[in-house]
Amino acid sequence: MSTNSFESSKRKISQACQYLAGGVSSNFRLGISPTPLVIHSGSGPYLIDADGNRLIDYYLGMGPMILGHNPQRVIDAAKAQLDRGILFAGQTEVEFEAARLVCELVPCAERVRFGSSGTEVIQAALRLARAATGRQTIVKFEGHYHGWLDNVLWSVSPTAEMCGPADNPAKVRGTPGQDPGSADHLDVLVWNDLSAVEQRLARGDVAAVIMEPAMCNTSAIPPRAGYLEGVRAACSKTGTILIFDEVITGFRLSAGGAQKLFGVTPDLATFGKAIANGFPVAALAGRANLMEQFVSARVMHGGTYNAHPVNMAATVATLQELADSDVYSHIERRGRQLMEGVGEILRRYSIPARVQGFPGIFHVALGVTKPIESFRDTFGIDRSRYVRFTTALIERGVRALERGAWFLSREHDETVIERTLEIVEAAVKAIA
């Protein structure tokens, strides 16, 4: 199997560094082996990079591209809206239709508001929870990511040495320059431990609990049986708002997100990524009596680009496609085939590994074999060997995230999965 060259990407990134800090516009795109890529185009499950390599893509824009790159219905809808104008600071029919579709598909969604990024709608959710309860404290969980702002960028990926005892985790800052006071009203707990939540909420001073309902930023971890139900009950009992951050799981684990899949309805939920197949759209959805506080109590929520008409047209097309078609049964079949195939190859080459999660987003970890059930179970993962693996993969034509997550789209058909598994086997041989 011949291997790809990335010289053109390398050269262009180093030239761009004269103008663009680090040659990238997000820190998540820095330091990738063998180089951050320069992409020419995308189509279906494939990307073409600046060197002309055709790569089977499992980044999928970090999750959004559930219909694959360039789905015709979404492109056509966005183009048609673009011909009618760009931005109006007024309402549009496509915005109303997008809101109606979210409310139809998502169990907790009685009302919705749109924004442009997951990070910002999460801020709106926290503000609404504080306004509604008159309480200040927010509870979040180790390893869960809720955007890059100061007040939530705590204990997202702390080291074993820094994270403190499991029954009283330390709050570990996420970046230099972060306001230390931004954690004053934040408590961090370990996830998937019901009694930890019950004990904390019993004090009666928590405005909201925010979590990824399946933990997809570190590994891909389902909630333990009864955990979400238990947290739901503890929140209801103590008047605490339950927020599911469904920026990854929304419209990916099912058309109704993790809340539909697991049958537990939060008070508020945040969405992004797959909601518009790559257009910058996010949504806050939830119970009418909470969401109406944006109106009745004038809880502030703004944004020049909120419900941008072109993005709303893309949202409507994406959600119609997700509601009408067999996207999820396709992803279920092909995702399982890939998870099982990758696991089988790693076993055959005697590489200790754990493949777990969901067909639409799963996680491959090297160096551990036991089920990963919470953030602290990830400390044993051999990350440097995994980077050797993803480097060997991309050299042979498969692009998978260095942190171990694999995203699937409708466009990853049987042929693509079979080709992926051939490349996985070659890459595993290379690191065995």
Q: To the nearest whole angstrom, how small is the minimum distance from the Cβ of residue 377 to ligand PMP? A: 19
- Give the count of residues interacting with ligand PMP (CB under 6 A): 15
- Does residue number 119 form part of the binding site for ligand PMP (CB under 6 A)? yes
Active site residue 273: yes
Window contacting ligand PMP (CB under 6 A); options: 95-103, 155-163, 241-249, 370-378: 241-249
Interface mask (CB under 6 A) for ligand PMP, residues 320-349, using x and -? ------------------------------
- Does residue number 363 form part of the binding site for ligand PMP (CB under 6 A)? no
Q: To the nearest whole angstrom, how small is the minimum distance from the Cβ of residue 192 to ligand PMP? A: 16
Residue choice 51, 57, 95, 245 for contact with ligand PMP (CB under 6 A): 245
Q: Which of 53, 116 has the CB closer to ligand PMP?
A: 116
Q: Which of 50, 98 has the CB closer to ligand PMP?
A: 98
Q: To the nearest whole angstrom, how small is the minimum distance from the Cβ of residue 5 to ligand PMP? A: 30
Ramachandran angles phi, psi of 2, nearest 5°: -70, 155
Which residue in 58, 145, 227, 386 is the catalytic one? Answer: 145
Q: Which residues from 58-77 bind ligand PMP, rule CB under 6 A?
A: 62
Residue choice 146, 330, 334, 412 for contact with ligand PMP (CB under 6 A): 146
Look at residues 123, 44, 144, 117 and name the one whose alpha carbon lies nearest to residue 275. 117
Residue choice 114, 145, 227, 328 for contact with ligand PMP (CB under 6 A): 145
Judge whether 353 and 366 are in contact, CB under 8 Å.
Answer: yes
Active site residue 382: no
- Does residue number 147 form part of the binding site for ligand PMP (CB under 6 A)? yes
| Angle ∠(158,160,162) on CA atoms, nearest 5 | 60
Window contacting ligand PMP (CB under 6 A); options: 142-150, 293-301, 326-334, 359-367: 142-150
Q: Which of 120, 187 has the CB closer to ligand PMP?
A: 120
Q: To the nearest whole angstrom, how small is the minimum distance from the Cβ of residue 428 to ligand PMP? A: 28
Ramachandran angles phi, psi of 378, nearest 5°: -90, -5
Q: Order of strands, edge to edge, in the sheet holding 361-366?
A: 353-358, 361-366, 405-407
Q: To the nearest whole angstrom, how small is the minimum distance from the Cβ of residue 121 to ligand PMP? A: 8
Q: To the nearest whole angstrom, how small is the minimum distance from the Cβ of residue 137 to ligand PMP? A: 20
SS3 letters for the chain? CCCCCCHHHHHHHHHHCCCCHHHCCCHHHCCCCCCCCCEEEEEECEEEECCCCEEEECCHHHCCCCCCECCHHHHHHHHHHHCCCCCCCCCCHHHHHHHHHHHHHCCCCCEEEEECCHHHHHHHHHHHHHHHHCCCEEEEECCCCCCCCCCCCECCCCCCCCCCCCCCCCCCECCCCCCHHHHCCEEEECCCCHHHHHHHHCCCCEEEEEECCCECCCCCECCCCCHHHHHHHHHHHHCCEEEEECCCCECCCECCHHHHHHCCCCCEEEECHHHHCCCCCEEEEECHHHHCHHHHCCCCCCCCCCCCHHHHHHHHHHHHHHHHCCHHHHHHHHHHHHHHHHHHHHHHCCCCEEEEEECCEEEEEECCCCCCCCHHHHCCCCHHHHHHHHHHHHHHCEECCCCCEEECCCCCCHHHHHHHHHHHHHHHHHHC
Q: To the nearest whole angstrom, how small is the minimum distance from the Cβ of residue 174 to ligand PMP? A: 13
- Does residue number 259 form part of the binding site for ligand PMP (CB under 6 A)? no
Active site residue 377: no
Q: Which residues from 194-223 bind ligand PMP, rule CB under 6 A?
A: 212, 217
Residue choice 45, 68, 115, 118 for contact with ligand PMP (CB under 6 A): 118
Q: To the nearest whole angstrom, how small is the minimum distance from the Cβ of residue 169 to ligand PMP? A: 19
Which residue in 51, 57, 187, 245 is the catalytic one? Answer: 245
Which position's Cβ is nearest ligand PMP?
118
- Does residue number 248 form part of the binding site for ligand PMP (CB under 6 A)? yes
Which residue in 140, 273, 328, 386 is the catalytic one? Answer: 273
CB neighbour class for 183 (10 Å; exposed up to 12, middle 13-18, buried from 19):
buried
Q: Which of 244, 294 has the CB closer to ligand PMP?
A: 244
Task: Name the residues that contact ligand PMP, by CB under 6 A.
Answer: 62, 117-119, 122, 145-147, 212, 217, 245, 247-248, 272, 282
Residues with active-site annotation: 145, 245, 273
